[in-house]
Structure 1
């Protein structure tokens, strides 16, 4: 598989056989990966020009998928060296929760994963407003973290230590950590909330 869109045209490789022109090029990192562009034989000069154009288009088309595979959530924007032990309650059948926990681990959190059958009871226990609920509920340093909250926002919360109950990303917006689907990214907000029911925007993500 071509890595990072870097190709090296490694050989001749123009062959005319059985009225077909083959242009073969190889991956810069592996001679075992190869791709062939097949063109009908005609004017050889035009064939070569067409082949070069197609090769350029092919190389350009490789750049987008490679960039898309690098998750924006891998980057760290908050430095934090305090408590990183977090307990996550989730449904046994929830796969996106696993993706979010992997995101936390990548940022240095030590995750205790607890599979709970009655998630509704857990949310009620920690006084989560219904409009702020999501799939999983986590606890860290006295704060409640609900849903797919980015790791850097949790770090900021732990550094600033505001008088809050916790943070939430309501529902499950596509594009949030653990909810990545290709290049699709929905705008979302991280909401801070208090025991008295007051809540406000902690951080908003429109383009990320």
Structure 2
């Protein structure tokens, strides 16, 4: 096998392996049984290649407390993804950054249910202030 062919095959294999790893992401999304916007978020996350398990619960407060979501930073759903907690309708650009940088934090979140975020219909009304949280404390992380 020629050196250029071997290099091409190695590059192709690494590319395919990287793609397979990206598609192998698994998430668990906790939501209220009646929340349609959370289901829409889960569908959009799945469309991005994430295997999403939806867990319906009437105890979202308990889920958030166990996950370490800071008081006042809650939203309508909580996600476990790659060892991180994603709280609410966090735009996918913020999740992409989180998974790329892999900071030493508990997770990120976008409080409330802002219009224009994934799963929430309508145009964006204001900048999305995504916060990082660690040890139950929230600090600014990314504005979209």
Same fold (TM over 0.5): yes
Out of 32, 41, 53, the residue aligned to residue 112 of structure 1 is 53
Corresponding residue number in structure 1 for 2:127:
187
Out of 116, 140, 144, the residue aligned to residue 175 of structure 1 is 116
> Which 5+ residue runs of structure 1 have no aligned equivalent?
1-78
CA distance in 1, matches of 2:37, 2:31: 10
> Which 5+ residue runs of structure 2 have no aligned equivalent?
1-17
Corresponding residue number in structure 1 for 2:68:
127
Per the alignment, do residues 140 and 184 of structure 1 end up closer, same or farther by CA in structure 2, a change over 3 Å counting? closer
CA distance in 1, matches of 2:30, 2:127: 25
Higher RCO (CA 8 Å, separation ≥ 6 residues): 2
CA distance in 2, matches of 1:160, 1:139: 17
Moved over 4 A (4+): none
Partner of 1:104, secondary structure, is helix
Answer whether contact 1:127 1:195 (CA < 8 A) is retained: yes
CA distance in 1, matches of 2:93, 2:30: 20
Q: Quick check: 1:200 aligned with 2:139?
A: yes
> What's the RMSD between the two structures over aligned residues?
1.9
Alignment coverage as a number of residue pairs? 125
Answer whether contact 1:165 1:194 (CA < 8 A) is retained: yes
Q: Quick check: 1:158 aligned with 2:99?
A: yes
Corresponding residue number in structure 2 for 1:92:
33
Between 102-111 and 161-170, the greater mean CA deviation after superposition: 102-111
> Structure 1 length as normaliser, TM-score?
0.56
CA distance in 2, matches of 1:133, 1:153: 17
**Structure with greater helix percent:** 2
CA distance in 2, matches of 1:146, 1:177: 13
> Structure 2 length as normaliser, TM-score?
0.79
Larger Rg: 1
